[in-house]
Amino acid sequence: MLDDAEARFRSTRPPECVCFASLAFERAALAQARGDTTAAAAWADKAVSIAQTDPTRSDAVPYFLLRRAELAVEQSRFDAARADAERSIEINLAALAPGTQSGYLGRAYLALGRALIATGHADEARDALSAAALHLKASLGPDHSQTKLADQLLATTVASNGR
């Protein structure tokens, strides 16, 4: 199905269209589901690279960095996850009006928090998870699975640090 979609897009869209980044990331997700982490990482890298070439969709870069960070967390590649999450947050904060609550920003803070926990940076993780919970509650609601995960990890981090 992805091959068919790609063929159709190639006949109607310019080669730098962000739609090709979406297809590449779907291929990353499929590779990850098959257990092929090497291919998943390569397709995720390709998605980010494609997103960076579409001059009309500057919002795509932080989104695909976020998705690659989430994938890196799944693969226990925590330094890569941290770098991508931090970059996604940086780009989003520069683009959003101050005080804007965003689900994408919340997810990026959550990925950052998870990477920081895994690498032993509990204080920084607590700050990232606090920001994640704030953004996720406002944008996705308190009952969303991502919000609940942020709250759970924050509570665990606070409890283990005694703060």
| 142 assigned to some structural domain | yes
Half-sphere exposure of 28 (CA within 13 A, CB side): 24
- 39 and 87 assigned to the same domain: no
Cβ(21)–Cβ(50) below 8 Å: yes
- 129 and 160 assigned to the same domain: yes
User: Which amino acid belongs to residue 26?
Assistant: E
What's the structural domain count of the chain? Answer: 2
Q: What is the span of the domain harbouring residue 125?
A: 80-163
List pLDDT tens digits, range 98-128.
989 999 999 999 999 999 999 999 999 999 9
C-alpha closest to that of 137 among 99, 106, 114, 104: 106
Residue 97, class by beta-carbon neighbours within 10 Å (0-12 exposed, 13-18 middle, 19+ buried)? exposed
What pLDDT score does 7 carry? 86
- 84 and 23 assigned to the same domain: no
List pLDDT tens digits, range 54-63.
778 888 999 9
| 65 assigned to some structural domain | no
List pLDDT tens digits, range 39-91.
999 999 999 999 998 778 888 999 999 999 999 999 999 999 999 999 999 99
Q: What's the pTM value of the predicted model, to 2 decimals?
A: 0.91
Q: Cα–chain-centroid distance for residue 93?
A: 14
Q: What is the mean pLDDT of residues 17-27?
A: 92
Query: What is the rounded CA–CA span in Å between residue 163 and residue 143?
Result: 25
C-alpha closest to that of 163 among 129, 132, 139, 140: 129
Residues 6 or more apart whose CB falls under 8 angstroms from that of 11 comprise none
- 49 and 109 assigned to the same domain: no
| 75 assigned to some structural domain | no
